[in-house]
Amino acid sequence: MNEKISAEQMLNNIFDIMQRLYDEMRSDENKTGGHLKVFEIFADLGRTLVEADRASFWRWDKRQHLLITTAATGTSQIVISDKTGLVGQALAENRAVLTNDPYNNPNFNSAVDKKTGYVTKSILVMPVSDCRGEIIGAFQVINKLGDGGFDEVEDTKRLSIAAFICGMALESDIFMADSQRDKLTELKNRFGFHSDYQKRYRRRTSIMSAIICDIDFFKKVNDTYGHNAGDAVLVHVSKILASKIRDGDNVYRWGGEEFVIVLEGANVDGAAAVAERIRLAIMDSVCKFEDKEIRVTMSFGCTEMDSSLTIEENIQVADARLYRAKETGRNRVIAAD
């Protein structure tokens, strides 16, 4: 490992990192959503502050009970259960966790070391909170440079600087992600669709299709069974829609009882086939709410995305076909004019 650096050299290193961070925050890539580089710089800041060999910054996905690295030195993204490891312990106990003898610590997961040959000698993990004090992630540094391990007082104090900055950035990132997700169905919403379009779909080089669909006679469901039952139907339908698409495809709650599905690498015939499978699954399913069994059907309009049209114009094509499906009897798929 490298020798410990002087205070002057550390200060210069910190200044260099902050300059990199400033430049990255203003970059075009960061403006269009490619801001994971910012978290990599944050990880480098924490590593430098405590003079560690490696650092990782973890986001806590409470909905799926997962810990996900937004940045990690020397490795690709890691996803683990939030109940495991020293990071999981730090979150569960809401305190900094330190060990200078990890292989004898029952919470240390040595699987990565066994796979890569890396030898872990010391670890410090700090929970990261938002402005309300709720834990949203963790900062981990590994292997103190030079002789000895991490100091519980001094290194925790230093790492708290990076943890605080990362907490503010991660809170902003989580707030943006939450604003793009429908709270009832947990699908992405229309804002999420337009965000994905800017980051992914707009620069596509392969074919892509869209399906727009809605629940037939949904107002009648609300009028007959009540709005809580209507919400249950929306959740029921959303789960079926999400289960019938491939990894990499997306379904969005467009508004009310209307949904949009984006299929990458699929032409309009492929989209129609997917829509038909969904239509049959919805028709054959039963939504159970309290003591009631509610059945619904859906209508679908499909289009292959035309790069010469705006996203709004492409959706209008699919929406016009959905309108025809509803006008000509409902519970059907229309994929051509």
Which residues carry out catalysis? Answer: 257
What three-state secondary structure class fits 212?
strand
Pick from 70, 73, 39: nearest CA to 54: 73
User: Using CA atoms, how far apart are residues 86 and 90, in angstroms rounded to an integer?
Assistant: 6
Taking the CA atoms of 68, 69, 75 and 81 in sequence, report the sign of the dihedral they define. Answer: negative
Angle at 292 between CA 287 and CA 293, to 5 degrees: 40
User: Using CA atoms, how far apart are residues 232 and 293, in angstroms rounded to an integer?
Assistant: 11
Contact 258, 214 (CB under 8 A): yes
User: Using CA atoms, how far apart are residues 306 and 51, in angstroms rounded to an integer?
Assistant: 53
Taking the CA atoms of 326, 331, 335 and 337 in sequence, report the sign of the dihedral they define. Answer: negative
Residues 6+ apart with CB under 8 A from 38: 21, 24, 25, 30, 169
Of all helices (H) and strands (E), which one includes residue 102?
none
Give the CA-trace dihedral at 141, 80, 126, 177, to 10 degrees.
Answer: 110
Pick from 72, 239, 202: nearest CA to 140: 72
As beta bridge partners, residue 301 has: 212, 334
